[in-house]
Structure 1
Amino acid sequence: MRFDMLSNKLINECLNTIEDTVENSNVDFEEIDEVIIIGGASRMPKFQSKVESLFEEYTKIKNDIEPDEAIAYGCAIQAKLLSENIDKPEYKKLLEDNEIKLPHLTQSLGIEDTNGDFIPIVPKNTVLPATRFIEVDNTNTPLYFAFYQGESEVASENKLVSQVVIDDFVVEGAEPKENEKISIRINLSPENLVINAQNKTTKQSTKISIKM
């Protein structure tokens, strides 16, 4: 009885997460044919029945996969998907049935240095979204970044994505402070390039969003 009382809250949180996931995926419960339940709690008959109650009668709730191994099994399939050496017939059918398309960067994203060279920040084929960090000295002058996409070592031979100027940290008449740094966080998604810059001493920050 006490176990039921303690577990009810956790089970209800799981059910809420399932409902939110289905809603955010823009599908209806009626469209789902099979559900795999995993994790230690999936062995509980009460948990299984609660999950079943969310779905239609024809939806198959599968518990025939070892719940402690299911994630590792899925990771193994995905790792094989990403491998370039898939040539055995016995794997091809498995991969065709389980292939997951992940958004990725088709060309490297980087910046132009003072010599005109292309410095990759996010390499080609990186799965998105991705985050990278760079750090520069605060010279009390505007920061300029030219973002390019491509594979040429010469920046101008690649596609110019955007030119960014950050002057929020410039203090007129002030001298550069020794060892003061500006942290640049670059968030890249299929839709946007978001640049967050922060003065690590004063904590002043600014944000720039660029449509990809």
Structure 2
Amino acid sequence: FREANGIDLKQNKDLTALQRLREAAEMAKKELSNVVSTVISLPFITMSANQTPLHLEYTLTRTKFNEITKTLVNRCVTPLRQVLKDAKLQVSQIDQVILVGGSTRIPAIQELVTKELGNKQLNKSVNPDEAVALGAAIQGGILRGDVQDIVLLDVTPLSLGIETLGGIFTKLIERNTTIPTSKSQIFSTAVANQSSVDINVLQGERALAKDNQLLGSFQLTGIPPAPKGIPQI
């Protein structure tokens, strides 16, 4: 549309036109889960420089959609492999693969998951849009006492730790640890006669503190004067 008319709808100040474009793109994405091509048709999407109405009509194929979303789809590989590692499971130990979330209807996603999990058949009996709601219903049943044979445990989604000398992120509580939990570790001072330390608490998996999320900071004071490395904190 930009090449044909010299107008970039993304830079257009017409918010209504931009919203129509977003809605049409969303609909096209959904339709391409079931068909190999779809037409995006938006009459009177905007006006030309001489105030002539312009219309947008574009045929989007699944092949083109897969091409422009390939980078996003490939980003699913790392968390998929990580969750197997965290669960200490081999692909051969998986009984069923249940798809959760509307975007799992995208054929490219299904193909990637199938390939990564050894061509295991995907269980499509559960509506991916309702799977989270089912989990919430189970949680409600547990709270009411209606469900007796399932135990849900809260875990830390990311590792928790502090920033240490050199901007290093030192993990104290590993990700997927059942909570509540506690962990103790001895640290010391970095310079002689240090009377206080600033402690930054972070969560994440990166080696450097700056690459993780800061949860909070506090200052520990009252450290007795001593050579560096002597006080135990």
Q: TM-score, normalised by structure 2?
A: 0.40
Q: TM-score, normalised by structure 1?
A: 0.43
The structure with more helix, counted as a fraction of residues: 2
Whichever of the two has the greater Rg, that structure is: 2
